[in-house]
Amino acid sequence: MLTAKGHIEIIDTEYSIRTAKAIIEEGTMLIEPVDSNNKMPVILGTDKIYSQYGIGLLAIFIPIISLAKFLSFSFGFEEVMLSHFILSFYNMPFALLGLWHFREILKKLGQNHNTANFLTICLATGTIFWKYVVTDFSEITQIALLLGAINSFVNVKHPKRWLFVSTYLSLLVILKLVYVIVIPPFVVLAIIDGRRNHRTIPNLMHGIAILLPSALLLMYINWIRYGSIFESGYGSAQSEFSIHYLLRDWQDYLISLDRGIIPYSPIILVGFLTIKKFFVVNKETLFLIVSICISLYILTASWVGWKGGFCWGNRNLVPIVPLICISWAFLDWKNLYHRIFYLLLFLISIPFRVVAISLKTHEWSVLSREFKDHPDPYYIPSEIEGSAKLFYEKLFNYSGKYNTNTFAHEHHHSINLSNYESFIGFNFWPVHACKLFDPSLVGIIGKSVLGLSILLSVSLIIFFYPKSLNDSSKF
């Protein structure tokens, strides 16, 4: 909680906030445009728009904004600041839910209880997961629901597991429509399971029990807003997919230091050690995981958008990281090579996490504009390299003013980002809070929060580290 931001970082969230407020205050979903340059479908007779983002977020935001309104009215707090502060924490309960599902999946696939606990802590602290827990992007909430569907699937002894799968998938699609693409693998497996157990019809009926009403709800909402069940609010952007973009981006989305999934979570490479055993022991779950990951990867790489806007790494691929990590269920902790390889990649991953949680999501993107005039496109440091240099600089300099030669040679002028208040000091809510009372404490509070967060993370890792190699894995 210490590394949460205490404010809203991304413009996307503002659309959902305005929609939630409009529903509470005016009983409508029409809102003032957040960005006049963003081309939304035109609503005849008004200069307002409908948000293009999933209506599922409104179920989360409406209670939070209502609470902020009540507290503001009762105690005189500034409503916008209070609502943004509370909303900056909204991913945390979903992070805990997602981690619980992840641990349960590992255990159901055969991993030992103690090792599963440790691996879950490693997912939380050693991958891109941590960064997105403490932002207001909705990817962590998406992950919780996606893992919930997978956990329900692997719970083979539950007589109504397909009903739970349907429930989680419905919530996921309501949150973000693009997840309809993950439904087909579940349908295939429901049919296979049904034929094996003579339950094809019950499986499919359970599968559509929640999905069908959810689909009808989405179509109805689209129709009353836009007059078309197929218009979700993205306008022309929702159809801007092309093989050209796939050929352009597929490699970068794997290994690029700006948007590659591997550099931002190196520990996912552990999956290469376990893929064979995964295939031998549980082909159906492997099929499900691989199908979902490939579908989301191809869809993301085929879209016109570049990595999901201002974000850390590739925002649109964040949900497949914990799915790849499900392969850890077949990690043999008694195997010295498995253990060394895993711990080595985990240690390599830790510095990335420290840098990621400490900086504003788009801080390096704003700073790097100072170097855009250079003729060599590779002259500008990558997001990872630039952010690492910025993090090191901010350990000693939290004024928001920097010398360009700190980040790139040949440039010898100063950069002043002090007008961006949230760029001053590390990006933690206690740091921003102290600016309201004593700005001179920005440096010491930032370092204290960072040090305490690292200490707590290391303590969790040590506490949950499997103590007995004789009982660390069933394989």
DSSP-assigned states of every residue in 51-76:
--S-THHHHHHHHHHHHHHHHHHHH-
pLDDT by 10s per residue, the chain, length 475: 889 999 999 888 999 999 999 999 999 999 998 877 665 676 777 888 888 888 899 999 999 999 999 999 999 999 999 999 999 999 999 999 999 999 999 999 999 999 999 999 999 999 999 999 999 999 999 999 999 999 999 999 999 999 999 999 999 999 999 999 999 999 999 999 999 999 999 999 999 999 999 999 999 998 988 888 877 776 555 567 888 889 888 999 999 999 999 999 999 999 999 999 999 999 999 999 999 999 999 999 998 776 667 789 999 999 999 999 999 999 999 999 999 999 999 999 999 999 999 999 989 989 888 776 666 655 688 999 999 999 999 999 989 999 888 887 776 778 899 999 999 999 999 999 999 999 999 999 999 999 999 999 999 999 999 986 555 544 4
Q: Which residue has the tokens 């094809």?
A: 200
- 229 and 262 share a domain? yes
Residue 352 inside a domain? The answer is: no
Residue 336, domain member (yes or no):
yes
How far is it, in rounded angstroms, from Cα 455 to Cα 282? 37
Question: Between vectors from CA 339 to CA 469 and to CA 155, what angle results, nearest 5°?
Answer: 75
Report the length, in residues, of the chain: 475
What is the CB-side half-sphere exposure of residue 54 using CA atoms within 13 A? 22
Question: Can you give the pLDDT at residue 39?
Answer: 58
Are 251 and 333 in the same domain?
A: yes
Specify if 5 maps to a domain. no
In a domain, 27, yes or no: yes
Per the structure, how many domains does the chain have?
3
By C-alpha distance, which of 37, 14, 432, 122 is closest to 130?
A: 122
Answer yes or no: do 237 and 317 share one domain.
Answer: yes
Domain shared by 394 and 430, yes or no: yes
Structural domain boundaries enclosing 34: 11-87
The answer to whether residue 351 is domain-embedded is no
- 302 contact partners, CB below 8 Å, separation of at least 6: 241, 242, 243, 245, 246
What's residue 412's pLDDT? 72
147 shares its domain with 215: yes
- In this structure, what token pair is assigned to residue 170? 């419905």
**Domain end call among 49, 71, 87:** 87
Same domain, 127 and 250: yes
Supply the DSSP string of 350-371, one letter for each residue. HHHHHHHHHS-TTHHHHHGGGG
* Residue 22 C-alpha from the chain's centroid: 26
Give pLDDT, residue 433. Answer: 95
For residue 180, what pLDDT is reported? 95
How many angstroms separate the most distant Cα atoms in the chain?
73
Q: 379 and 333, same structural domain?
A: no
For 303, which DSSP code?
B
Judge whether 470 lies within some domain.
no
Flag whether 387 is in a domain.
Answer: yes
The confidence score (pLDDT) of residue 52 equals: 82
Same domain? 133 vs 229? yes
Could you tell me if 306 and 260 are in contact, meaning their C-beta atoms sit under 8 angstroms apart?
Answer: no
Provide the pLDDT for residue 230: 79
pLDDT for the residue numbered 475:
43
pLDDT for res 474: 46
Q: Which two tokens stand for residue 463?
A: 């506490």
Q: In whole angstroms, how far apart are CA 6 and each of 80, 98, 418?
A: 12, 22, 19
3-class secondary-structure state, position 414: strand
- Residue 348 located in a structural domain: no
Q: Do 33 and 150 fall into the same domain? A: no
Contact assessment for residue 122 and residue 260, using Cβ atoms and an 8 Å cutoff: no
DSSP H helix total and E strand total for the chain? 21, 4
For 21, 75, 215, 277, 386, the CA distances from 80, given in Å and listed in that order, are: 11, 14, 33, 52, 32
Last residue of a domain, one of 316, 341, 366: 341
- The answer to whether the CB of 218 falls within 8 A of the CB of 174 is yes
Tell me: do 61 and 175 sit in the same domain.
no
Co-location of 62 and 105 in the same domain: no
Residues 43, 59, single domain; the answer is: yes
* Packing angle, helices 11-26 and 79-87, rounded to 10: 120
Name the domain boundary from 315, 341, 367. 341
Residue 438 has φ and ψ, to the nearest 5°, of: -150, 90
